[in-house]
């Protein structure tokens, strides 16, 4: 099998590349990074896919970030993701690529709706305002996969993961997601000897996080089985924690002894987002890594990155 992977330098894309090479060494894997091709350029993307002629496209490239970044730059999150996704999926359609696995987002689900979300809840109610631009782009790409499968007989499927954390995460305080931001903030306070770490909101909002290498390994195992998937498949761990609980876990793995304060003037996003992953479970999804073990490994990788490369943490 010849596979084309986009987003190869990202957290999930990097884990997919590693898992693919480990478990499918006989396959050809072409890993595309931002430095190699600007996927917003439809002409360049079309030429790339036509040249490689993959049997499957694993589309993990996206412009991603935390709530601060999405609130500050909603236009860029909408435009960049629309351009990336229409370029890649459109090029795959034009080249006749029979299989495509698109990495969607739990942000596609409504803000005020039943929990946990099932796959049919996309477009059931209004979106969370902080994620709206990003979510609209992801929904458009999801529909494009659905239409391509129906119209052309392709097997274009959408994986909808919970929030992710793990090796290769963005630990910057301006763009990092919850787990990465908590680790970075608490590490900075620990090193500086600060007595307090400030948390946005009141700490009660709840989130579900999956360990990226677990998801990557399972997705790679499914490359030959996409025909068995429905159009969308939720992929979460089935439990969630409050923001305060994630910070407590980060405190444990870092060894920080200070206190937490809560800034309730800042947004914390929707109160809860948890996925019903029973469809994935019926397909064999059973993530093995506990949250504590995963966060411990994530912190170890963060320390290695900070020591061996440019500083991964921005405190101002």
Give the model confidence (pLDDT) of 1-22 as tens digits: 999 999 999 999 999 999 999 9
Residue 183 has pLDDT above 70, yes or no: yes
% pLDDT > 90, the chain: 85
| Per-residue b or e along 194-221, where b marks 16 or more CB atoms closer than 10 Å to that residue's CB | eeebebbbebebbbbbbbbbbbbbbbbe
pLDDT (mean) for 208-231: 98
Which helix (H) or strand (E) segment holds residue 72: the answer is helix 67-72
pLDDT (mean) for 163-183: 87
Give the model confidence (pLDDT) of 33-69 as tens digits: 988 999 999 999 999 999 999 999 999 999 987 777 8
Q: Which residues contact 96 (CB under 8 A, 6 or more apart)?
A: none
How confident is the model at residue 174, as a pLDDT?
65
Looking at the chain, the domain(s) classified CATH 3.90.25.10 span 178-205+241-272+289-308
* DSSP assigned state of 203: S
Question: Quick one: fold of 2-167+208-235?
Answer: Rossmann fold (3.40.50)
Extract the tokens encoding 80.
Answer: 């960049």
Read off φ and ψ for residue 110, nearest 5 degrees: -65, 160
Percentages of the chain per state (helix, strand, coil), in multiples of 5: 45, 20, 35
Which helix (H) or strand (E) segment holds residue 141: the answer is helix 132-152
Looking at the chain, the domain(s) classified CATH 3.40.50.720 span 2-167+208-235
The residues annotated as belonging to the active site are 134
3-state secondary structure of 206: strand
Task: Match 């072409």 to its residue by tokens.
Answer: 30
Task: Match 């496209």 to its residue by tokens.
Answer: 57
Give the model confidence (pLDDT) of 98-123 as tens digits: 999 999 999 999 999 999 999 999 99
Pick the CATH number of 178-205+241-272+289-308 from 3.40.50.1370, 3.90.25.10, 1.10.10.10, 3.40.1390.20: 3.90.25.10
Task: Match 């478990």 to its residue by tokens.
Answer: 23
């Amino acid at each position: 099998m010849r596979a084309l992977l986009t987003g190869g330098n990202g957290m999930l894309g990097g884990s997919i590349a590693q898992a693919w090479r480990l478990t499918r060494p006989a396959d050809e894997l072409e890993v595309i990074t931002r430095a190699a091709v600007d996927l917003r350029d439809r002409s360049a993307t079309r030429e790339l896919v036509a040249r490689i002629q993959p049997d499957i496209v694993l589309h993990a490239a996206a412009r991603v970030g935390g709530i601060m970044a999405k609130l500050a730059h909603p236009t860029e999150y909408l435009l960049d993701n629309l351009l990336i996704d229409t370029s890649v999926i459109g090029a795959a359609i034009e080249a006749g690529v029979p299989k495509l696995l698109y990495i969607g987002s739990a942000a596609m689900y409504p803000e005020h709706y039943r929990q946990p979300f099932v796959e049919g809840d996309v477009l059931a109610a209004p979106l969370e305002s902080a994620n709206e631009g990003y979510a609209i782009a992801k929904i458009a790409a999801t529909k494009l996969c659905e239409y391509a499968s129906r119209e052309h007989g392709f097997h274009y499927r959408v994986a909808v993961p919970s929030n992710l954390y793990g090796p290769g995460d963005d630990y910057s305080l301006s763009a990092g997601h919850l787990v990465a931001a908590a680790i970075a903030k608490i590490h900075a306070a620990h090193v500086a000897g600060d007595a307090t770490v400030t948390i946005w909101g009141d700490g009660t909002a709840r989130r579900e996080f999956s360990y990226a290498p677990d998801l990557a390994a399972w997705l790679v195992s499914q490359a030959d089985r996409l025909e068995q998937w429905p159009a969308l498949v939720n992929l979460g761990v089935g439990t969630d924690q409050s923001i305060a609980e994630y910070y407590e876990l980060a405190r444990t793995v870092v060894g920080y002894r200070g206190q937490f304060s809560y800034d309730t003037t800042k947004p914390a996003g929707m109160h809860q987002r948890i996925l019903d992953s029973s469809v994935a479970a019926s397909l064999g999804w059973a993530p093995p890594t506990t949250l504590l073990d995963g966060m411990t490994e994530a912190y170890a990788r963060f320390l290695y990155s900070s020591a061996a490369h440019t500083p991964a943490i921005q405190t101002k």
